[in-house]
Structure 1
């Protein structure tokens, strides 16, 4: 077994980060804040271009600190009070006056937002003009990954490799991606051999995400899925077990986050909702069957890394709900490991997840995500529990292959290639309803 611990720890540190607000509009706000800093003066004209998946995910979601929804207010907040040094938590630092000023800016100043004609999942291109200067900022691939910075004619950073003309030959040395070759067993065995000190930061995600869930349970925010489940348990309509606890925590946290609660969550693979789904079902299991800090940290590490493995094939943003097909699969693997650590049990949990929620669509980040996260959390527990009893989907059953890695790759083919037209139609339907032209 290869010793890949250092590489996997680096992935965890890169992909598991605190975030305030839905990641897509926050990423746009981050790019706007950076562009404003480079401009160094008041903005007279702006033009913001984003990939269709960013456009879709940011259209209807609540923004922390305001009751406004969507990209325009996020852009205004980034321009008015955002500090790029704060990364994906930049909206947390805005004062009440800055939020009010941002709302006024949104109402009185023209804000130009256009979807790009690109198949790239994460692309943000912000162009600002002032009285004396211009600036341009690009984020690509990851939500906080700056690839281009320009002030007037001075290019400060240029790591763009995907904006070349279609017919232009590009000789780009591709960095090796360990997720292309690693196996699920290698992920699990390497995590088992990690030192707690190296992954102790993952425990911060429990605190953050549970606090968000508490906020959703204690306040009328979002749809109120978490509060509805809690009341149903209290009235005896639902049983008080691991599955309902996982549903309740994950849904309540999503209620609060999608409703714009100004609290950080620990994200996973560029998504706060992924972080909620990857962590909170494991927390629910830990509440029923208490675990040591080391066991919890390792289970959550497995969850984040399996999530990353699935996302490597489905794409960072896609037509399918990443919480339903990726983060919940990671959570199910983490719960299965906590139960007994048997690799076949973990395989079974993953196969069951792929057979279950593989068709859940993503129609953007919004209040309704709480329902999807509730279903994802329930399925994560169910798949692990059934696999524990020795029951899992057999090979060659639908898209389930002969090995777990093949099953995940098949899921990726369906998601990334098979559902491109679905993604376009989802965006068109949302545009028509919201009269976005």
Structure 2
């Protein structure tokens, strides 16, 4: 049986509050860190990001503003950010909003796109005191370098590196476990170890309720509530879309993230919450289902990558949600694994074309399919192992998804970014 202490640490490290879309927030974290290390009056900001970060940050609302984009995110980090708050770096952004907007308007922020993949942000803040630099890589809070006037700042870096190594080791440990082991652990882990999962329920449900009460973003949840909110599948999809509407519109409310993404957190949590509510499940049952949903999300992301050409809300968090839903519906292990196969066979091909208000539609689809996949599996309808990427072995099926993401979709990712930049009138600005 898996070690409960390690499971608790994985959940503590991967299920954390985030304010705003994770990619622009990570940019703000980098710029805030660079500014804090150098001090002085800002004169210029230079930001280089991977194509994956660029596409996810280019069209999403920044909390507390009506602006979008990497330039304003970097500027807000410098003028109003608090690096000590991690993914909630912009929680007090109003104090520097006017200065940040003026700084961008005066074209003092330079943005370039690197040919690096995944999470990569390299931010230099130039002030009258010199240059501060911060590099974030591999995950949204993983600071790998801090420099002051070209000299590496060792203060706190050892602690940061130790934390990263521990977190990486835990995820690798999870990756080596079987899906059966993960499911069995979610069934029996002491409730007190996973009770904090209910905080995610409370946080993301509060966001979704705002989206149901008033139209935000595309209003997918708001406009869907009168049509199908009485069915399990409809309620799960509507509630999830409402949460995405609010978050992607830039409303200043934190969400509980999963595997480094707020939208993943919305998808991994809200469909499970919706079904638990309709089945009148107690808090312990819900906490177990949420723990399983997050663990499967993290497991799949360890294969597909933190940022990929595939929509992680569908292929990772959506699959996580389907397992949590199946657990609530008293499925056995084979049925839960069947739900994973049904999801993998259905929406694995959903592309990621950046963070934006339209993500609410994808989250709606992911949540709806999560319920359908679980229900079908419980009734004995599971995609056969000779269908497409589906393998008889569930772990192999997930590795196939990872192979598709890493090797099969890289050119697709490049073309997606090229199209997005053309649509927005952005000239190519790649650097090495």
Q: TM-score range by the shorter chain?
A: over 0.9
> Aligned ranges for residues 11-160 of structure 1 at < 5 Å?
11-95=10-94, 97-119=95-117, 121-157=118-154
> Aligned ranges for residues 32-431 of structure 1 at < 5 Å?
32-95=31-94, 97-119=95-117, 121-157=118-154, 175=169, 177-231=172-226, 233=227, 238=228, 240-431=230-421
Kept in 1, the 8 Å contact 2:331–2:378? The answer is no
Secondary structure, aligned partner of 1:91? coil
Kindly state the Cα deviation for residue 175 of structure 1 after the two structures are TM-superposed: 4.7
Kindly state the Cα deviation for residue 356 of structure 1 after the two structures are TM-superposed: 0.5
Q: Take 2:173 and 2:425, find their aligned partners in 1: how far apart are those partners? A: 43
Kept in 2, the 8 Å contact 1:87–1:144? The answer is yes
Q: TM-score, normalised by structure 2?
A: 0.93
Kept in 1, the 8 Å contact 2:39–2:129? The answer is no
Q: Take 1:277 and 1:239, find their aligned partners in 2: how far apart are those partners? A: 17
Q: Deviations over 1:338-389 (max 9, x none)?
A: 1114101101100100010010000000010000000000000000011111
* RMSD (Å), alpha carbons: 1.4
Q: Deviations over 1:152-195 (max 9, x none)?
A: 24312468xxxxxxxxxxxxxx9571133111111111222222
Q: Which runs of 4+ in 1 moved over 3 A?
A: none
Kept in 1, the 8 Å contact 2:200–2:256? The answer is yes
Kept in 2, the 8 Å contact 1:44–1:131? The answer is yes
Q: Take 2:411 and 2:152, find their aligned partners in 1: how far apart are those partners? A: 36
Secondary structure, aligned partner of 2:135? strand
Secondary structure, aligned partner of 2:338? helix
Kindly state the Cα deviation for residue 219 of structure 1 after the two structures are TM-superposed: 2.2
Q: Take 2:187 and 2:229, find their aligned partners in 1: how far apart are those partners? A: 33
Q: TM-score, normalised by structure 1?
A: 0.92
Structure 2 gap ranges (5+): 159-167, 428-432
Q: Take 2:273 and 2:127, find their aligned partners in 1: how far apart are those partners? A: 49
Kept in 1, the 8 Å contact 2:45–2:74? The answer is no
Other-structure match for 2:164: none
Q: Take 1:331 and 1:207, find their aligned partners in 2: how far apart are those partners? A: 17
Kept in 2, the 8 Å contact 1:64–1:261? The answer is yes
Q: Take 1:65 and 1:239, find their aligned partners in 2: how far apart are those partners? A: 30
Kept in 1, the 8 Å contact 2:229–2:238? The answer is no
Kept in 2, the 8 Å contact 1:5–1:191? The answer is no
Structure 1 gap ranges (5+): 160-173
Larger CA deviation: 109-118 vs 377-386: 109-118
Secondary structure, aligned partner of 1:114? strand
Kept in 1, the 8 Å contact 2:103–2:109? The answer is no
Kept in 1, the 8 Å contact 2:75–2:103? The answer is yes
Kept in 2, the 8 Å contact 1:179–1:312? The answer is no
Structure-2 change in CA distance of 1:392 and 1:420 (3 Å)? same
Larger CA deviation: 408-417 vs 353-362: 408-417
Q: Take 2:114 and 2:306, find their aligned partners in 1: how far apart are those partners? A: 17
